[in-house]
Structure 1
Amino acid sequence: MRRTVPASTGLRAAVVTAALCLLTVPAVPAAATTVMPASAITTTAPTPATSTTPATPANATPPGVPSDLAATEVSFRGGGGLAMHGTVISPTGAGSARPGMVLVHGAGTGTPREKLMGEAVAFARQGIVVLIYDKRSENYSLFKRSYSLLADDALGALAVLRSQPGVDPAKTGMWGLSEGGWVVPVAAARSSDIAFVVLVGANGLPPLRQQTWAVAAGLRKAGVSGSLIDRAEFNLYRTIADGGMFPEPYYDPEPTIAAVRQPVLGIWGTHDLLTPPEESPPIFARALEKGGNKHYTSRFFPDADHAAHQTPDGGVTRSPELAPGYAELVGSWVGDVTAGRPPASSTSGPAPVQASRTVPVDPPALWESAPVQLTALLLILVAFTGYPVVALVRRLRGRSRPPVAGAARLLSAGGLAAVLGSLSYLFYLVMTGGKLAAPGPVVAERPLLWLLLQALAVASVVATVLTALAWRRARASVSRGEGVRLGLLLAGGVVFVPWALYWGLLLP
C-alpha cells in the first residue's frame, strides 16, 4: 500500500531542508517508518527465487565462511521486484532436512551480508541452515524507508531458503536485529510460511521515542545532564520529525506484534544503549498476549550489548564474540519449536541496565512547529548579521561611528555565535549520538562547549537590554536609518530570548 504524503508534510520537509542547508550540517539519521497493522497487510506471496548458483568461483568458500560449513550463493526478488543476492550457509554432511532461518539486518543503507557473518556461522554450527543477504539501498535512506518493503525482501529470501536442498520448508523462520525487530513481525503477520521468529535488540516503542532515548542515554553515559538532554536534544528531534525528515516517527509497533502467531524468542543484552532493554520486552509480551500468542521466550544476556555481542564497557564497545550461550539458546529453541514443542511464555536472565526511562514524544504545537522555528531562526540570523554588514559598508564609505555601538556589537556577535554554535553542536551530537556520544570535556555534568554557548546566550540577553537603554539615551542623535538598523537588531534580540529558552540555552 502506498501512503500519500500531505502537502503540509512536504512544506514542513522543505522548511527543515532549508534550515539544514543554512547550517551546512548533515541530516539526522532516522530510526523507523510505518508498518501497516496486520489487518491491513496483504498476503501476496513474494516473487519466487530467480536463481540458485554455487559460490563464485565454483566450489570456493565466500570470505568469512569456515571450512566446516558449506556456502551457496543465491539470488531472489525482493519488494518491488528488486534483484537481491545472498549466501546460504549450512552444516556439511548428509542428514535429515534441517531448520532454516533468514537473518534480517538492522538499520543501514546497503548493509552487506558479511555484517551478519558471525551470527550466521554460529547458528549454522547449531544445525540451522542460514541465509544472509545484502540489504537494499534502493528506496531506503535516512529519510525514506518502508518496513512493508523490507518485509517483502525478507519473504523473498525465505522463499529461496525454503527451496534449498537439505532444508525442511515447514521449519523455516526469521531472525531480526534492531530495525529487523520491526521488519520481521510484519513478515510473520503476513506469511504462514514463517515457522518461528527470533528477535534481538527489538524495540516495542515508537521510533522517535526510542531515538531520543538512545541519544540521551549516550549523553548520560558520558556524564551529561540538564537542559542539553531535557530540552535541546529532545526538541531537535521533534522539530526534525515535524519537518518530515524522520520516517514515521510515531509508528506504534504493538498492533503488528499482536498479529504474530508464531513462537517468538526475544533476546536482549543487559547493556543495550540503543533500545531500552527494560521497557521493550514487556511491550512485546503484552502485545503477544493480547493477540493470544503464549509461546514467547524473553532472555537477557549479561555483559552483552544491543546485538547480544559481548561488551567490555557497558555497551559502548561491541566485541566480535557473541554473548556466551546465545547461539546455543537459538539452536536449542529452534530445535524445540520445529519439533512441535514450542515453549510456554517465560523470562530469564539478569535484569537489564537502563539508567533512565524513555519519555513520550508528542508532536509539537503550532507555536513550536518546524515552520515557526525556521521563521524565528531566519529573523534572528538576519537581525544579527545585518548589523555588522551595515557597519562594514559604513566603514568602507568612511562614515562616522554610530552613537550606539558597544552593546549592539556584543548582541550581534554573541547572539549569532550562540545560535549557530548551539544548532551545529546539537546536530553533531545527534549524528554521533547513541552509545558513542562524544560531547567533549564535561564540567559539572555539562559539556564545556554547551556551557560556553549558554554564557554567550546570557550575554546576548544582557546586551539586548543594554542596547535598548543606550538607544533610548542617545535617541536624539540617532538617525532614521540607524534607528531601523537598531530596531531590527533589537527585534532579533527579543525573539532570541524565547528561542533560547525553548532550546535550553537559558536553562540549567
Structure 2
Amino acid sequence: MNDGTPKARTDRSPVYEEPSAQPWSVRRRLMTSLPIFIVLLGILVTVSNWTNIPWDNEPTGQTMESLSADTSVTFANPTGETLPTRGTYEVEVIEDDMTVTRASTGETEDLHLVVRVPTGVSGKIPGVVFMHGAGYGLAKDWFVDVGDDLASAGFATIAIDKPVWSTNDVTRDYPASADAYEQAAEYLRALPNVDGDRIGIYATSESTWISAFLLQKDPRIAFQILVSPMVHTPRHGLGFLAAQDFALVGAHPGYQSIVRRVFSADLTVFGLTNFDIDTDLPRAYAIPTFVAYGSKDVMTAQVEGARVIFDRAHRAGNWDVTVRDYPVGNHVLRIGDEEQGDTKLADHFEDDMVNWAVGKVRGLEQTDVRVAGTDIYQSIAVPQDLYGHRALTVYMVAVHVLAVVLLLASAVLAVVALVRRIRYAVRRRGPRPGFLNGFGGVLAALSFTTLATLDLFASGIGQVVMQIVSLVWGAAPDPIPMIYWSWPVIQTVTTAVVWAWSRVFARLIEVASMRGYTRLGLREFVRQSRSGELMRSVRRPVIADTRFSRVQFWVTTSAMFCVLLVFAFWGMFIY
C-alpha cells in the first residue's frame, strides 16, 4: 500500500511515486523553448550593446609628406671648426651605483649605472642621460651602441637601471622616475669635465611620458632626442596601438571591439591614475628636439604625434624641432625581427642623431630640412574620444569575478560528485548522487560545450596577441585564418548553446508540470517548500533525488550563464 511517504532505498528505483502524466508533444516543447531562447538571447544581445563603445577611426590613411628623402643633419659652420663625429674619440666606461628614492612612498632602490666618457678631450664636454622605454632594463644591457656613438663624438653619457621600486608596468610612478633621471643628470654634472648646462636626454617610447616631468623639474636640460615618442595619454596612445595592430594582423572586427572596451576602463576604481596622466606640460617641448620614427613602427601614432609635438613646441616658443622617419626601422629604430637578436639600428640614424646633438650643443644654425626621410604614415586616427566608464568597469569586474567564483565552485562540486559516485559504486552505501530525467547528461554536455567555446575564445585572443607581439618585434605581418574565422564560429556555437539551455529550461517546466508543481501556484509552492510538505507529498523531485545534485545543477547552470555574460560583455552577440 502506498501512503505517499518515501520508500526505503534498496535499489535504483525512484524515491517517490509520481502521478501519471503524459509527456509533452514536440510542438509544445518547441513553443515553450522558443520564448525562453528569445529572452535569454535578448538579455545577451542587450548586454553586448550596452557594453559597446563607439569608435571613430576616421580619418584613415593620414600622411605627413617628407621634405627630403635625405635624412642627413647639417649645420652652418662659419668658423670652419672641425666637428667631432661618431668614432672621433676612444671611449672609457665607468661603472658605479646610486640610490634613488620614491618620494610618494619613501622607498629606496639601488641602481647600477654605466658612464661613458671620451678620452683625450680638453675643456668641458656636454652630456646625455638615457631613459628606458617600457618593461625593465639594466644599464649594462641597454643603450650600449648609442652610448658609444655619443661618447665617441665628445659626450659624457649615463645609463642607469630602470627605476621601478615596487611598481609594475601598470602602476609605474612617472614623477618619481623623473626624479631618478634628474639624479642621473646631477651625477653627470658632478663630473669635473662635464658642462652642467649642456646636458640633454635620450628618451624612447614610454620614457617620453617621463621626460615631460623631467623637463618641467630640471630647466637646465638643454636638448632632447626622442625615439618613437608617445605623445598622447596612455589611454589614447595605447588604444591606438592595440586597435591598429589588431587590424594589421587580420583580427576579426569582433576581436578589435575588445580594444574599445579594455581602453574604456576607469582604472581610478582601483586607484590607478596613469591611464589618463597629463604630460602636456609647458616645458615638455620647449627645448631643441630631435624626433626619430621608423616606418615599420606599429605602435606610435606618428602623423598626429608629430603634429602635436610641433604645436606644443610652438606654443612654448620653440621652433627648433627636427623630425626624421627611417625606412624599415621599427619602434626602437631597429632593423629586422628582434626576436632573432643581434639587430642593428636603422641606416643613418646613429650618424644623424649624433651630428644633430653635436651641432646643437655648439649653438650652430641648422641648414637641412626639418622633416625628412620616408613620408610619415598613420593608418587610423588616435581615439581621442575614449574616456573611463565607471559603471562599465564595475560591471566588467563583477561579471568576471562572479564567473570565476562560480566556475571554481562548480568544479569543486563536480569533483565531490565524482568521489561520491565512485564511493557508492564500490561500497553500495550512502547517498547515490544522481540526476533525474536525463538532466545530469545534459548538464555535463552543455557545460563541456560552453567551456570548450570559452577555450576557443581565449585561444583566438591568444593568437591575436602572439601575432601582435611578433609584429612589434619587427616581423612582417603574417595573418593566420584562425584569428578571423574563430569569432563567427564562437558566435554560432554560443547561439546554439543558448538554444540548448532554453531546451533544458523548457524540459524543467515540462517535468514540473508532469509532477503537478505547476498547478500549485507560486504562493502555495513557496509555502509547501518552506514547510517540507512538498517533499512529503507524492510528487517526485524534478532535477535530482538528492539535495547535493540539485545544488550542483543550479551552481553549474549559473556558472555557465555567467560565461555567456562574459561573452556578451566582449561583444559576442552583436559583431
Shorter-chain TM-score bucket reads 0.7 to 0.9
Over 3 Å counting, the alpha-carbon distance change for 1:196 and 1:430 in structure 2 is same
Q: Distance in 2 between matches of 1:495 and 1:138?
A: 38
The equivalent residue for 1:373 is 399
Q: Contact conserved, 2:223 with 2:288, CA < 8 A, in 1? A: yes
1:324-367 per-residue CA deviation (whole Å, 9 max, x = no partner) reads: 22122222222232222465993222223443444343223414
Aligned to 2:504, the other structure's residue is in SS state helix
C-alpha distance in 2 between matches for 1:111 and 1:447 = 42
Deviations 1:91-132 (A, max 9, x none): 322334322111111122353332210111122233322212
Give the direction of change, closer, same or farther, for the CA distance of 1:242–1:473 in structure 2 (3 Å limit): farther
After TM superposition, list the pairs within 5 Å mapping 1:127-206 onto structure 2.
127-206=154-233
Tell me the residue number matched to 1:285: 310
Contact 1:418 1:457 in 2 (8 A): yes
Normalised by the length of structure 2, the TM-score is: 0.66
**Deviation of 1:457 (Å):** 2.5
CA RMSD of aligned residues (A): 3.7
The one of 404, 415, 419 equivalent to 2:450 is 415
Q: 1:247 to 1:320 in 2, by over 3 A?
A: farther
Task: Quote how far apart the aligned CAs of 1:203 are.
Answer: 0.5
How far the C-alpha of 1:244 sits from its partner, in A, is: 3.2
Q: Once the 2 structures are TM-superposed, how far is the Cα of residue 316 of structure 1 from its aligned partner? A: 8.2
Q: Secondary structure at the match of 1:294?
A: coil
- C-alpha separation between the residues in 2 aligned to 1:491 and 1:88? 61
Query: In the alignment, is the contact (CA less than 8 A) between 1:385 and 1:412 conserved in 2?
Result: no
Q: Match of 1:300, SS? A: strand
What one-letter code is carried by the residue in structure 2 that aligns with 1:252?
A: D
Shift of 1:425: 6.2
Indicate yes or no: 2:358 matched with 1:335.
yes
Alignment of 1:95 onto 2:119: no
2:241 corresponds to which of 214, 224, 240? 214
Partners of 1:157 and 1:245 lie apart in 2 by: 29
2:335 match: secondary structure? coil
1:348 corresponds to which letter in structure 2?
A
The alpha carbon displacement at 1:179 in A equals 1.5
Q: What do residues 169-219 of structure 1 show as CA deviations (whole Å, max 9, x unaligned)?
A: 221111111122111221111112211111111101221333343344444
Give the C-alpha shift of residue 432 in structure 1.
8.0
Report the CA distance between 1:265 and its aligned residue: 1.4
Pairs aligned (count): 439
8 Å Cα contact 1:128-1:331 kept in structure 2: no
In structure 2, the CA distance between the partners of 1:420 and 1:223, relative to structure 1 (3 Å rule), is: closer
Q: Work out the CA distance in 2 between the residues paired with 1:348 and 1:66.
A: 26
Q: Deviations over 1:45-86 (max 9, x none)?
A: xxxxxxxxxxxxxxxxxxxx9993222224444344644332
Q: What SS does the corresponding residue of 1:337 show, helix, strand or coil?
A: helix
Match of 2:501 in 1: 464
Residue 109 of structure 1: aligned partner: 136
1:200-242 per-residue CA deviation (whole Å, 9 max, x = no partner) reads 11101221333343344444333323211222x4434555946
Amino acid at match of 1:443: P
Partner of residue 403 from structure 1, selected from 428, 437, 440: 437
Q: Residues 75 and 443 of structure 1: is their aligned pair in 2 closer, same or farther, counting only changes over 3 Å?
A: closer
Q: Match of 1:303? A: 328
Confirm whether residue 248 of structure 1 aligns to residue 279 of structure 2: no
Alpha-carbon distance change, 91 to 379 in structure 1, aligned in 2, over 3 angstroms:
closer
Give the letter for the 1:72 counterpart: I
Q: Distance in 1 between matches of 2:483 and 2:541?
A: 48
Report which structure shows greater RCO (CA 8 Å, sep ≥6): 2
Give the whole-Å Cα distance in 2 for the aligned partners of 1:66 and 1:403: 87
Corresponding residue SS for 1:196: strand
Letter paired with 2:220: D
Q: Distance in 2 between matches of 1:322 and 1:91?
A: 22
Q: How far apart, CA to CA, are the structure 2 residues paired with 1:200 and 1:338?
A: 19
CA distance in 2: counterparts of 1:317 and 1:275, whole angstroms: 22
For residue 440 of structure 1, report the CA deviation from its aligned partner: 10
1:503 maps to 570
| Max Rg structure | 2
* Structure 1 residue aligned with 2:525: none
Q: 1:146 to 1:480 in 2, by over 3 A?
A: same
Q: Is the 8 A contact 2:208 2:226 kept in 1?
A: yes
Unaligned runs of 5+ residues in structure 1 are: 1-64
Does the CA contact (< 8 Å) of 2:93 and 2:117 recur in 1? yes
Match of 2:152 among 111, 117, 125: 125
Which residue does 1:71 correspond to in 2? 93
1:443 maps to which of 478, 481, 491: 481
Unaligned runs of 5+ in 2: 1-86, 103-107, 425-431, 516-539, 545-549
- For the Cα contact (< 8 Å) 2:266–2:388, is it kept in 1? no
Q: Which residue of 2 aligns with 1:269?
A: 294
Q: How big is the shift at 1:87?
A: 1.9
Matched-pair contact (CA < 8 Å) for 2:93–2:116:
yes
Give deviations 1:471-493, integer Å, cap 9, x for gaps.
22222356166476655555555
What's the counterpart of residue 48 of structure 2?
A: none
Alignment CA distance shift 1:445-1:137 (3 Å): closer
